Amino acid sequence: MSGAPQYKTLKGMQDILPPDTFLWQSVEQAAHRIFSAFGFQEIRVPVLETTSIFSRSIGEQTDIVEKEMYTFTDKGGRSVSLRPEGTAAVVRSFVEHNLHSLPSPQKFYYSGPMFRYERPQSGRFRQFFQIGVEAFSDPHPRMDAEVISMLGRFLMAIGLEQVSFQINSIGCEQCRPAYKDALLLFFADKKEHLCPDCVRRFDRNPLRILDCKVSRCIEARTGAPRITDHLCQDCRMHFGKLQELLVLLDVSFTVNPEMVRGLDYYTRTTFEVTSKGLGSQNAVAAGGRYNRLVKEFGGPDTPAIGFAVGMERIAELLKRSVSLTWPVPAAFLAALGDTAGNEVLRIADVLRRQNLWVEVGDCHSSLKSQLRRADRLAARFVFILGDEELRSGTLKWKNLADASQGEVKIAELQDFLTGG
């Protein structure tokens, strides 16, 4: 007797099983198709990297680096971390392999698991999958607009239209320090009203107070200075041009000056796509520009922008609108006896070369049990091969959905199944 399973997935991690995997595959295929049309090429980077790659780029004092990384010392005594996101690893790869020598702009996409030791809740996992893109070397807001509109095209292609785009500019090294000072001044006499996290943020990164979801912090920030009022001339022009181009490209968006993002590497444009249907973890995708990171990693001064989509959140939304169906075999070949058993294997092989899903019955089982299996699989057509059919070269078929029956020559089976 089997009781409770001895082993289970770790907290915050999950198996993705069929039929969900079919949905995941179709989302991944759409990403490949659409990103390729925009000239993005696939890059695959390791799951494990040197810890400092993440701590330096995402920021020593961010939640991700302070609390959420899966970090350990490997057998060689190095501190390594499971990647909490893809951008830092792609930038490491860009610099390591001199990818800036490729024709510019260099555009890449990636997909795979990311790891953050967060408190699991609906839509938030410790292992989650992202599909991300990173575009290098183009500083112009045209690239911001292309990347954001590509994200829109992708979401539309997979059938996610009830989402909203929020964009912001968080300025650059020229204008952000003065804005930070303005925020410090604003929050100086409100410090005791802030949550403990925001009290820490006050000293380290006051911009993050704007993003806090705790109600007393939301209250405390009423009337706080807005970054969009503190942008330098260049950042203002960049942000203005981006908005103009998004209108041209038919992307609806709202400007949210409080959207500051939880990673430190951003400069200028940041954006987030949210869905009302997801509760508190409502961001399905997010990204922004990071013009300093390549240089900080020892590469040439190279502007860049990208985003990442959260696969679990997308799958969750899609599952609400599409009913997932299991694919069914095109044919089930039942066989009676050894000779027929060999012949169905040969026929199945021919049909499978045409990418048809074909199942073969166990020629030593009764026809009844073979048909039961065909039924469980809901095969579209069942074919039965015995001595008589071997002699005549003609098979009896049955359509399991409507119970219609007929005969077909073995030589014509492929045309019969493909409608050719």
CA distances from 400 to 174, 332, 374 (A): 70, 10, 9
Q: Which of 30, 59, 95, 134 binds ligand HAM (CB under 6 A)?
A: 134
Q: Which of 65, 210, 259, 284 binds ligand HAM (CB under 6 A)?
A: 284
Residue 137 binds ligand HAM, judged by CB under 6 A: no
Residue 310 binds ligand HAM, judged by CB under 6 A: yes
- Tell me the two tokens of residue 250: 């038919």
CA distances from 367 to 40, 360, 373, 385 (A): 52, 12, 10, 10
Nearest approach, Cβ of 128 to ligand HAM (angstroms)? 3
- Tell me the two tokens of residue 340: 């027929």
Cite the DSSP H helix spans in 80-228. 87-96, 141-157, 176-188, 196-204, 215-220
Q: Which of 108, 187, 307, 383 binds ligand HAM (CB under 6 A)?
A: 307
Which residue stretch of 48-56, 121-129, 219-227, 349-357 sits at the interface with ligand HAM (rule: CB under 6 A)? Answer: 121-129
| 8 A C-beta contact, residue 43 and residue 111 | no
Residue 59 binds ligand HAM, judged by CB under 6 A: no
Nearest residue to ligand HAM on Cβ basis: 310
Nearest approach, Cβ of 381 to ligand HAM (angstroms)? 42
Residue 169: closest CA among 246, 250, 283, 258: 258
Q: Please count the CA atoms within 13 angstroms of the CA of 158 that sit on its side-chain side.
A: 31
Name the residue nearer to ligand HAM (CB basis): 287 or 299.
Answer: 287
Does a cis peptide bond (omega within 30 degrees of 0) precede residue 113? no
Residue 128 binds ligand HAM, judged by CB under 6 A: yes
Nearest approach, Cβ of 357 to ligand HAM (angstroms)? 32
Size of the site for ligand HAM (CB under 6 A): 23
How far is Cα of residue 77 from the mean position of the Cα atoms in its chain? Answer: 32
**Contact pattern for ligand HAM over residues 313 through 332, marking x by CB under 6 A:** x-------------------
**How, if at all, do strands 394-399 and 381-385 pair?**
antiparallel
Nearest approach, Cβ of 115 to ligand HAM (angstroms)? 9
| 8 A C-beta contact, residue 238 and residue 269 | yes
Residue 155 binds ligand HAM, judged by CB under 6 A: no
Q: Which of 286, 318, 348, 360 binds ligand HAM (CB under 6 A)?
A: 286
Residue 132 binds ligand HAM, judged by CB under 6 A: yes
| 8 A C-beta contact, residue 137 and residue 303 | yes
Residue 306 binds ligand HAM, judged by CB under 6 A: yes
Q: Given the rule CB under 6 A, which residues bind ligand HAM? A: 85-87, 116, 118, 124-125, 128, 130, 132, 134, 283-288, 306-308, 310, 312-313
